[in-house]
Amino acid sequence: MVSKLTEKPLASWRGKDRYEGRILDTLTVIFRSGGCSWNRCRMCGYRHERYPDLPRDELAERLIRQVRWVKENFRDEDYQVLKIFTSGSFFDPDEVPPAVRRAVAEAFRGKAVIAETRPEYVDADAVREFREGIDSGDWDKPLHVAVGLETTNDLIRERSIDKGFSYADFLRAAEAAHAAGAGMKAYLLMKPPFLTEREARDDMIRSIRDVAPVADSISMNLCTVQSRTEVEHLWKQHAYRPPYLWSVLDVLISSPVHILCDPVGGGQMRGPHNCGACDGPIVKGIADYSLSGDVGLLRALAETECGCKEEWEFVLDGEEPFCMPLTR
């Protein structure tokens, strides 16, 4: 008999997000699933959070138990947007059986849903079926398919992240999602391993400009050091440092479109950070900008006087691949 504990998702929390130009209440749920089919990304700690091999019927039942847990623990009136993550891909039928997708659609009909998946699983028919299942007519786009593109540079995505797909694969997925009446959300990753601070900053500036005409929304994730990952191994060897918050401001200020950015772990050694003295207001300012879109707030933060800005400028100018990172 399955214990009550296994019904609880890996994580769930309420927050706020910008959706279709409005600031709305969100519920984020990370479901334990059959596991990512790729399971190789260097920075991802969720690759370890999966059920062991289960018959499809049992896997579906365990996932549906998690859906019931969410419905029992969060009131429908407290949020408008549901953000779904799994150990890998929501639209992978081996990881999340179709019966589970139908149960999710029935349970959360009327919500705006953002569901993450790898591009190879963006099948127009499956996306359309799910969109129609959740659509109550209240949203222009009730579903956004979210893909961890990370960067538009194929070499960086393959060598620094080991992502296993190309930018062309993402473009094909975007076309399929749009054909099914869904929006496309691109997740970018700032500073995967093996890049200097300048390379990481410039890659994000370029990637945002590349993908802006294709994606309906863009979220830039700032690389953090998660447990039991290759990034953590490099970090412990003093061979990796998360991005400076100064670099994050640079990227967001230069963007031609609004970028969602939740600075998870900001100000901590395992997350994006400066010196510690100036981190707090910058982390808060980035989070506020993500909701408001007020670039003026970022420009004011970029003028903050702190001794570590000189250090950051030195790193931008002097860090080379063979001697990185210059700082911790």
Residue 183 within a domain? yes
Query: pLDDT, tens digit, for every residue of 250-283?
Result: 999 999 999 999 999 999 999 999 999 999 999 9
282: in domain: no
Q: Has residue 278 been placed in a domain?
A: no
Rounded CA separation 235/328 (Å): 9
Residue 237 lies in a domain: yes
Residue 28 has pLDDT above 80, yes or no: yes
Q: Which pair of tokens denotes residue 209?
A: 């400009």
Percent of the chain's residues with pLDDT above 90: 91
The answer to whether residues 193 and 308 touch, using CB atoms and an 8 Å cutoff, is no
Cβ 188 vs Cβ 151: under 8 Å: yes
Using 50, 70 and 90 to split pLDDT, how confident is the model at 5? Answer: very low
pLDDT greater than 60 at residue 248: yes
pLDDT of the residue at 52: 83
Task: Read off the pLDDT of residues 106-115 as tens digits, 9 standing for 90 and up.
Answer: 999 999 999 9
| Residue 2 pLDDT | 45
Q: Does residue 295 sit within a domain?
A: no
CATH classification at residue 120: 3.20.20.70
Contacts for 128 with CB less than 8 Å, ≥ 6 apart: 180, 181, 182
Q: Which domain range does residue 100 map to?
A: 11-243
Domains contained in the chain, number = 1
Residue 313, in any domain of the structure: no
pLDDT band, very low/low/confident/very high, at 6 (cuts 50, 70, 90)? low
Q: Is residue 287 part of a domain?
A: no
Q: With respect to residue 289, please indicate whether it lies within any of the assigned structural domains.
A: no
pLDDT of 4 reads 58
